[in-house]
């Protein structure tokens, strides 16, 4: 009997021990949960740390404006565009009207306080296009953001005087043009851009947009185009089989692309990216052009052929649709292409000017510029 009582007592003691443990565990869980819900009720040191964090956040808020934005919710079951490819197989967006919200992009871009450089070559008679190019850029290019126009020219005295918006600058870079043909001048651009990337662009701008000058902005071209490396689809070859692209096909050239390779045909008139990426691109293209010269071969479409080779092996992180480069002159001879475009092009953002007509006018006005 005494033995039985002993066993009973032990069991009870064990039970009450278990209950105590359970209670302690519950209390611990409750407090850790409470401090999880209310972190400020922690030890005084942590509270201090929180306050410091708030101050830092508050200081951050003073330098960058964060405002409430209202916009339509993205529709997960409704693609923005069903009629065109909007992403490449390497997941780079193809920029079409209707696929992005400019307000969101502008707000996000402003937080980064970045500067955009626009390079343009206005050499010899191409000076005639500069005024209209700049005037239209003032209306439509990167409106509301900080822009530096870099004008490469052999005739600084002909650069028109323009009243430009606040936050924008024109920098004239005098260059000597030792070539007479536009093809050579065009190829020379790769060398000059790569040199100036090292010399000054890397200190002054975050992005570079490299453009031809014989064009006019006719609608907004904003930060949606910016990315570490971007190229533009050539409107004349949109939708064609790659076997029909005018790539350089001679294996002797550095720009050679075989018939069974190629993604798109990019136009030489508009490309860009971050300064380091544009430096790599222009340096590689310039070096390839030099190798070709040493081998007495010139790629079929000059710098454009080399650009296409580069972008095939260094995939761009964004691709601009032909909305960004409209060539009416070329379309007049390509009725099939025009049929496709009449359905898919919603906006024509940059228009290539008709050269002959403009040149004729300029010469009649007695500009005194020498034709090449």
Ligand X SMILES: *[C@@H]1O[C@H](CO)[C@@H](O)[C@H](O)[C@H]1NC(C)=O
| Residues lying near ligand X in the complex (CB under 6 A) | 48-49, 52, 63, 113, 115, 241, 243
Task: Answer yes or no: is 121 a known binding residue.
Answer: yes
- Catalytic site residue from 304, 338, 364, 365: 304
Q: Is 126 annotated as a binding residue?
A: yes
58 among annotated binding-site residues: no
Q: How far apart are CA 86 and CA 75, in angstroms?
A: 16
Identify whether the C-beta of residue 236 lies closer than 8 Å to the C-beta of residue 158: no
Q: Which two tokens stand for residue 80?
A: 């923005």
Torsion of CA 137, 141, 144, 146, to 10 degrees: -80
Of 241 and 342, which has the nearer Cβ to ligand X? 241
Determine the Cα–Cα distance for residues 205 and 226; give it in Å rounded to an integer. Answer: 13
The first and second tokens of residue 326, run together, are 């409209």
Nearer to ligand X, 79 or 167 (CB): 167
The nearest distance, CB 117 to ligand X, in angstroms, is: 12
| Residues facing 116 on adjacent strands | 147, 207
Report CA torsion sign: 172, 177, 180, 186: negative
Helical ranges in 96-216 per DSSP H:
102-112, 130-140, 182-196, 202-204
Q: At what angle do helices 182-196 and 275-294 cross, to 10 degrees?
A: 140
304 is known as an active-site residue: yes
97 labelled as ligand-binding? no
**Shortest distance, position 19 Cβ to ligand X, whole Å:** 41
Q: How far is the CB of 266 from ligand X (least distance, A)?
A: 18
In the complex, the smallest distance separating the C-beta of residue 108 from ligand X, rounded to whole angstroms, is 15
Q: DSSP characters for 273-291?
A: EEHHHHHHHHHHHHHHHHH
Alpha-carbon span 279 to 197, nearest angstrom: 6
Of the two residues 43 and 72, which places its CB atom closer to ligand X in the complex? 43
Nearer to ligand X, 41 or 52 (CB): 52
The reply to whether 244 sits in an annotated binding site is no
Would you please indicate which residues are annotated as catalytic (active-site) residues?
Answer: 304
Mark the binding-site residues for Mn(2+), compressed into ranges: 212, 214
Q: List, as residue ranges, the binding site.
A: 121-123, 126, 212-214, 234, 304
């Amino acid at each position: 009997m005494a033995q039985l009582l002993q066993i009973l007592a032990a069991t009870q003691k064990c039970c009450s021990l278990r209950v105590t443990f359970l209670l302690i565990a519950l209390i611990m869980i409750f407090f850790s949960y409470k401090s999880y819900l209310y972190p400020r009720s922690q030890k005084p040191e942590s509270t201090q740390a929180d306050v410091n964090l708030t101050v830092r956040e508050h200081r951050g808020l003073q330098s960058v404006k964060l405002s409430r934005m209202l916009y339509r919710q993205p529709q997960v079951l409704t693609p923005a565009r069903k009629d065109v490819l909007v992403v490449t197989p390497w997941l780079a967006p193809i920029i079409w009207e209707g696929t992005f919200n400019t307000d969101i992009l502008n707000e996000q871009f402003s937080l980064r306080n970045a500067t955009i450089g626009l390079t343009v070559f206005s050499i010899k008679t191409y000076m005639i296009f500069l005024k209209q190019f700049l005037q239209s850029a003032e209306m439509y290019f990167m409106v509301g953001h900080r822009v530096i126009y870099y004008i490469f020219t052999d005739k600084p005295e002909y650069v028109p005087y323009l009243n430009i918006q606040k936050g924008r600058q024109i920098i004239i870079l005098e260059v000597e043009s030792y070539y007479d043909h536009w093809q050579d001048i065009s190829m020379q651009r790769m060398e000059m851009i790569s040199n100036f990337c090292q010399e000054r662009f890397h200190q002054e701008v975050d992005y570079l947009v490299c453009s031809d000058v014989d064009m006019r902005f006719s609608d907004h071209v904003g930060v949606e185009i910016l990315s570490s490396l971007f190229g533009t689809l050539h409107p004349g070859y949109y939708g064609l089989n790659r076997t029909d692209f005018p790539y350089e096909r001679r294996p002797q050239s550095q720009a050679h692309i075989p018939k069974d390779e190629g993604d798109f045909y990019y136009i030489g008139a508009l490309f860009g990216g971050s300064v380091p990426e544009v430096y790599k691109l222009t340096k590689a293209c310039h070096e390839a052009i030099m190798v070709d010269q040493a081998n007495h071969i010139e790629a079929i479409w000059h710098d454009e052929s080399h650009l296409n080779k580069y972008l095939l092996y260094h995939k761009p992180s964004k691709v601009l649709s032909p909305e960004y480069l409209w060539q009416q002159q070329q379309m007049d001879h390509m009725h099939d292409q025009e049929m496709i475009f009449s359905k898919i092009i919603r906006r024509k953002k940059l228009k290539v000017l008709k050269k002959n007509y403009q040149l004729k006018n300029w010469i009649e006005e007695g500009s005194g510029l020498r034709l090449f």
